[in-house]
Structures are given as C-alpha cells and as structure tokens.
Structure 1
Amino acid sequence: MNLDIVTAPTLGVPHGFFGHTGGLSAGAVAGLNCGFGAKDDPEMVRANRRLAADALIAGAPLASVHQVHSATCVVATEPWPIEERPHADALVTDRPGLLLGIVTADCAPVLLADTEAGVVGAAHAGWRGAIGGVTDAAIAAMLKLGAKIEQITAAVGPCIGRASYEVDYAFPDPFLAEDPDNARFFLEGPADKPHFDLEAYVAARVAAAGVRQVWAAGLDTYALPDRFYSYRRATHENAPTYGRQISMIGLAPKTR
C-alpha cells in the first residue's frame, strides 16, 4: 500500500510525516487516519498506525500520548495502552526500536533527534502548545536523557500555512506580550484580518532554544486536501468529523 511520507534530510534516524494517502479508513476520514478521536473504527485506526509504523521500522512498538494542547512532555520506555496514555503533547525516548508518534490536523508536528546521544523526541505544537513551550519541554527532556543541545536537529512537518490561517484581531496579543518581535509571524490578509505563520513561529522557537539545524516542510495542510487532513478545512466544509495524520520518529533497533 503506497503511503505518502515526508522526510527531513537532517534527522538521520527513522522518521516520517505521513499524509492520508493509503490506509484502511473510509468515509469522511478515508485513508490513513491515525486519530482515535476522529469518529473512526478503532480497529481501523490501530491498523493504520501499524501500517505507518511498519513503513519505518517493521514490527516496532509505537508509543503515543493523549494530546490536550499542553506543554507537557513525558519519557516513553514502552507503549502505553490506548486507554492509559498520559495527557501530554510531547514525548521523548532513548530506547532503540521504539517509535514515538503524535497526530495532527493543522497543528505543527515537530520531530527532534540527537543521533550521537541516541535520543529522539516528538511534539504536537498547536498555537497553545507552541506559545506554552511544548517544544522547549521536549528539548529539556531530551537533554535529561543525555542529548546535547548542539547535537540536536529538528524538523517541523506539514501544518496549516499562513495563507490559510486567518485569526481574529486579538489572537496576536499573547504572542506580542511574550515578545514584540513576534509581530513578524503575522501578516494582514485579504480580509484585513491577521494571518498567523505557525510553522515559522515554531521553527523560530526551536532555534531560540539552541537547536542549530531546524528544517521546515513548507506544506500547508489546509491547502492540500489530496495529501493531508485539516481541521479547519473540515470545519469550513461542515464535515461531520476530520482525520488526523501521524508523524513518527525512532531509533533503529540495535543489531546483535
């Protein structure tokens, strides 16, 4: 089954930002829906997750969290049962052969790796988590596992683009209160309302934490319906639900 996998040239470990091509789900979430909150058959979601994981490391276990738009990061040593997943929006590991996964549908997926230390991380960065410091939390957790900031590389995957992300007039306020220079991430749109560049903000936030190599996919989930699910697009189309694409990263299993 052909899967749409976006990869970054800088990470150096098994990883992928998956689109919705391929997969077993049907209806409004047809394709590779990997989100349990999408009103999909849970068995289809599990099967889709297995397809994606096997495309990176055959048979690898997948650890994921119950995402709540927080800045909380947890350390994964093995998968949690679906019903027992911690409420968090980032996870890190130093366990070879374990994949980390986060799901998105316009929010920015961020994958991080220190190949020398053998530590990887994944973060779900919506605007709340991004300004709250979810990527900072992921980087801090990686450092506690032995990563070094000068060795970490990062990749920001497909997310809603600035051209598609119109916000209300008060939306920029907390960003400008954090740093007036954040005005550069907002541009007036055709309806005279601000548009937010989530990808650029997240990339800048990761760089400000000391990560020297930050790659960005430059793919707008809203504007590419043939490739990606989009919460905002589904809302504008009055769709009954919306799918979630998955992004994964892991360390290759050790060979005997």
Structure 2
Amino acid sequence: MHSWHWRSWEGLPYLTCSLLEKWPHGFFTKQFSPQYPAELVKVLQPDAGVYRVKQVHGNAVLTPSEIEAAMSSESPPIDELPAADGVLSDRSKQSVWVCSADCTPVLIADTHTGQVAAVHAGWRGTATKIVPNAIARFVSSGSKLQNLLVAMGPAIAGSVYQLSTHVAAEVGASILPDTYQEDNIEEILAAMSQITDSPLSPDAQAGRVRLDVRRVNAIQLQQLGIEPEQIAIAPHCTYQDPEHFFSYRREHLKKVQWSGILSV
C-alpha cells in the first residue's frame, strides 16, 4: 500500500506520495493560494523550468517544446498559454503543473527515464481518456509500461460526487468494450455496476448516480496493462475537506490548488 505524507513549506501544508519519492513533487493545498507555479516551483527546485497549459477539460497533452512553439507562433498572443490538460516533460529539470478543484490531478513518472507528466482529469477528460493519452505519449518517447508510476491526488470522492446518469454513462463508456452504444445509458450503467470495485454507486435522486472518477482512471490504466501496485490514489476528498482544499462543487467559486512534479 502506498503512503501519502503531509509536508510543510514555510508553515504551509502540501501532500506527497511515497510512490513518487524519487521525484520532487507536491499536491499543494489552498493555503498556497494565490501562488502560481512560478512561485511554487521553489518548493521543488527553485531553478527548474516551469510549464503549464490553459486547461480546457479536454484530452490533449503537450510537451514543454510544444508549449514554447505554440507561444512563439504568430497566431496566439505571446502571453497566452496553449489549450491542453496535460504536460509531459521532454528534458530534465522541468517542472510540469496542473490546477484543480474537484477534478483529479494526476502525476506520472518513469522510473527508467526520469520523465514526468502532470495531468488534469475531470469527468470530460476522463471520458475521452486523457490519462491513457498521456501514457501513450510516454510510450511513444521510449517508456515501458512497467516503468510508469501514477499518483492521483486529492479530488472529489465518488461517495459525494453526484451527477446525471447521462454523464456517468459517458464516462463509463471509456472503460467498456466498443460494442456498448453511448446512447444506451441503462445498459452502460448496468455494465459498470458489474465491475469489481465498481466506480458507480446509486443516488436517492431520480436520474442521478454517484461516480468515482479516480477509480475510472485507475481502471483505464489497468486496461492498458499497468498494474495496481503502480497506481496510488490519495485518501483525500476536496469536497469533504474545506480546511485544505478548494471545491467548486462545495463553494461554486473558481479557486484552485496546484499539483506539480519535477523531471530528473
């Protein structure tokens, strides 16, 4: 079982995961707000490069080289980040970052190459397999699946994440065979319920269910061939822990916490 540890930086708390102990990293709390990665990088390594994207709830993953190329092109304003929801390092000493409130921050590292990624996996990104997309980019740059480690940080827990059956089916289709039709909601939900340690649970309100998005991401990873011991899920819920985390579902405010990791 992987352990999670509270750390402190100048009296401010953040989380680390034992799975990623070889890489400077952190799932930062609301106490660090309103600091951005340019300031937060000092906790990991002050002289590291800092890379993030404009998050849009999609499934694109970019490298720092791609981010720099997009920002230097003539089309976007020079200060506008390219749209994506994941960043994959392509050199050493690069810190990659994502922000989240109730969505899942995912930090990934390769034990052989030292390459890392930070991914923002909300329900939309999960439905379109952003974490498998990140894994595919690792593999295309030489990684082997058995060398990848994945830590999913604080996010809204399945026990309190209520959403429509339509949305749950859209996410659930990502872990079912292609033979399931997306418009057959009841069939998809029934199949999800049969999965061992199902990410789906009932809700008292008609037309609603509860969904564990982190569990869906874990299933996607295991379907790729990544073993359960390569995956860690934080035992922290953003919605239920107002002391440490912003939650859009709880507060309806656009406030976020950052998660980052440094390539070695």
Q: Shared fold by TM > 0.5?
A: yes
1:54: how far off? 0.7
Deviations 1:201-241 (A, max 9, x none): 11221222222200000211011111001111112xxxxx3
Opposite residue 143 of structure 1, the aligned amino acid is: V
Partner residue of 2:231 out of 214, 223, 228 = 214
Separation (CA, whole Å) in 2 of partners of 1:78 and 1:87: 11
CA RMSD of aligned residues (A): 2.0
> TM-score when scaled to structure 1?
0.81
Letter in 2 for 1:208: Q
**2:200 maps to which of 178, 186, 200:** 186
2: CA distance, partners of 1:63 / 1:175: 28
Which residue of structure 1 lines up, in the alignment, with residue 13 of structure 2? 4
Is the Cα–Cα contact under 8 Å of residues 55 and 85 in structure 2 kept in the other structure? yes
Paired residues of 2:172 and 2:216 also in contact (CA < 8 A): no
Task: State the match for 1:233 in structure 2.
Answer: 250
Output aligned runs, 1:34-113, within 5 Å.
45=35, 48-77=36-65, 80=68, 83-113=79-109
The alpha-carbon deviation at position 162 of structure 1 amounts to 1.3
Distance in 2 (CA, whole Å) between partners of 1:176 and 1:113 is 26
CA gap of 1:78–1:2, structure 2 versus 1, over 3 A, is: farther
1:250 corresponds to 2:250: no
Go from structure 1 to structure 2 and tell me whether the alpha carbon gap of 1:78 and 1:203 turns closer, same or farther (over 3 Å shift): same
**Gapped regions of structure 1 (runs ≥ 5):** 24-31, 34-44, 236-240
Normalised to the residue count of structure 2, the TM-score between the two structures is 0.79
Distance 1:145 1:127 in 2: 27
When structure 1 is superposed on structure 2, of 183-192 and 158-167 the one drifting more is 183-192
In structure 2, relative to structure 1, the CA distance for the partners of 1:9 and 1:225 (3 Å cut) is same
Post-superposition offset of 1:79:
6.8
In structure 2, the residue matched to 1:204 is: 219
Residues 61-88 of structure 1 show CA distances to partners (whole Å, capped at 9, x for unaligned) of 2100001011111111497568332111
Q: Runs of 5+ in structure 2 lacking a partner?
A: 1-9, 72-77, 177-187
Structure 1 residue 136 corresponds to structure 2 residue 132 = yes
Read off the aligned partner of 1:62 and give its amino acid letter.
V
Paired with 2:216 and 2:16, the residues of 1 have a C-alpha distance of: 20
**How far apart are residue 242 of structure 1 and its match?**
2.8
Which residue in 1 is equivalent to 2:6?
none
- Give me the whole-angstrom Cα distance separating, in 2, the residues matched to 1:99 and 1:176: 32
Question: Is the partner of 1:53 in helix, strand or coil?
Answer: helix
**79-88 or 194-203, larger mean C-alpha shift:** 79-88
1:177 Cα shift? 4.0
**How many angstroms apart in 2 are the aligned matches of 1:49 and 1:245?**
10
% identity of equivalent residues: 30
SS at match of 2:57: coil
Contact 1:163–1:189 (CA under 8 A) maintained in structure 2: no
AA aligned to 1:248 is G
